[in-house]
Amino acid sequence: MKDVKLKDGRKILLREMTKQDILPGGNGRCPVNCKMVIGGTLLPTDNFRILNEEMIKKYGTTAILAIDQDVIAGFVNFYPTWCPHFDLCQDEQINEAMIHLEEIRSPPPCDDPALHVRCLMVRKEYRGNHLSITLLNCLKDWAKSRGWKKIVGGGNMFSGRAQYQWLIAPKPPKPIWEKAGFVAKDFPALGLKAMSDREGARLSLEWYKSDGFPKQFPKDVNPEDPDWPMIFADYTMVCEL
């Protein structure tokens, strides 16, 4: 699609994911922990491959890749809102989505077609170059040129407070969405609120402190911080195209 030069001088190619280089989803793999390369030996599970092949055939692609030579430096992964929702590392979701292949092949009539961002990831060694914002802007251009009207995604429990910048989250920080032109608002088609309530934020806080999270995650979150309901809230971020 286009070449971009990062702040540190490296050149990155941004392009659509094709059937030949589907991300290696499935098997519980977290993209952050995998070094993904074009033409590498790490392959998607059969079900993940089939789902993405069907959507690529119908809609063009399901991801914008940022490529440094053959290394996937980052990507934004998305599906139409009416397609079955599944994440790259969630095998149960992926397998369940196979039941709904017909919804991918024969989408329902829609006057307000929208894309749902499922994952936005930039490898650690490429961060600090605004690559995540570049990926979102590239997605906006791609979607608008193909008639999509909206893009929706989930902002994480990060308010921009400096002491919480170490948070590792499954959703991109809210400020990243805002810099790419997204705003927090309700998205009724998916039953999403602009911001989760206090109870939802409390549950997110407990999840972050749980023993099941990776050992390197700091456990010094202060639940008495008066701003924690905002810090740990989920945000629905929407961009009108």
What percentage of residues in the chain have a pLDDT greater than 70?
84
CA distances from 9 to 6, 36, 38, 121, 144 (A): 5, 21, 22, 20, 29
Mean pLDDT of the chain: 85
Bridge-based pairing of strands 150-155 and 114-122 is parallel
Residue 172's pLDDT band, with cuts at 50, 70 and 90, is: confident
44: pLDDT strictly greater than 90: yes
Look at residue 220 in the predicted model and tell me its pLDDT: 55
Look at residue 219 in the predicted model and tell me its pLDDT: 53
What is the pLDDT averaged over residues 158-171? 46
Q: What is the four-CA torsion angle of 171, 211, 88, 238, rounded to 10 degrees?
A: -20
Look at residue 234 in the predicted model and tell me its pLDDT: 82
Contact 36/23 with Cβ under 8 angstroms?
yes
Residue 40's pLDDT band, with cuts at 50, 70 and 90, is: confident
Short-list 174, 55, 169, 49, CA closest to 121: 169
Q: Which two tokens stand for residue 198?
A: 């206090």
What is the pLDDT averaged over residues 98-117? 91
More confident residue, 144 or 30: 144
Look at residue 158 in the predicted model and tell me its pLDDT: 52
103: pLDDT strictly greater than 50: yes
Q: Which two tokens stand for residue 77?
A: 């992964």
Distance CA 202, CA 198 (A): 6
Strands (E) in the chain, as ranges, are 2-5, 11-16, 63-68, 71-80, 114-122, 150-155, 183-184, 235-240
Look at residue 212 in the predicted model and tell me its pLDDT: 57
Residues recorded for the chain: 241
Distance CA 32, CA 29 (A): 9
Q: Which domains does the chain have, with CATH numbers?
A: 1-131 (3.40.630), 149-241 (no CATH)
What is the tens place of the pLDDT at every residue in 197-231?
888 878 877 776 665 555 554 455 566 677 777 77
Q: What is the pTM of this model?
A: 0.87
What is the Cα gyration radius of the chain? 18
Look at residue 163 in the predicted model and tell me its pLDDT: 45
Look at residue 1 in the predicted model and tell me its pLDDT: 79
Short-list 120, 141, 140, 142, CA closest to 131: 120
Look at residue 221 in the predicted model and tell me its pLDDT: 57
Look at residue 35 in the predicted model and tell me its pLDDT: 83
More confident residue, 105 or 210: 105
What is the pLDDT averaged over residues 103-132? 89
- For the beta sheet containing 71-80, the strands, ordered from the edge strand earlier in sequence to the opposite edge, are 2-5, 11-16, 63-68, 71-80, 114-122, 150-155, 235-240, 183-184
Look at residue 238 in the predicted model and tell me its pLDDT: 97
Bridge-based pairing of strands 183-184 and 235-240 is antiparallel
More confident residue, 109 or 66: 66
Look at residue 162 in the predicted model and tell me its pLDDT: 41
Q: Count Cβ neighbours within 10 Å for each residue of 100-133 and write b for 16 or more, e otherwise.
A: eeeebeeeeeeeebbbbbbbbbbbeebeebbbbb
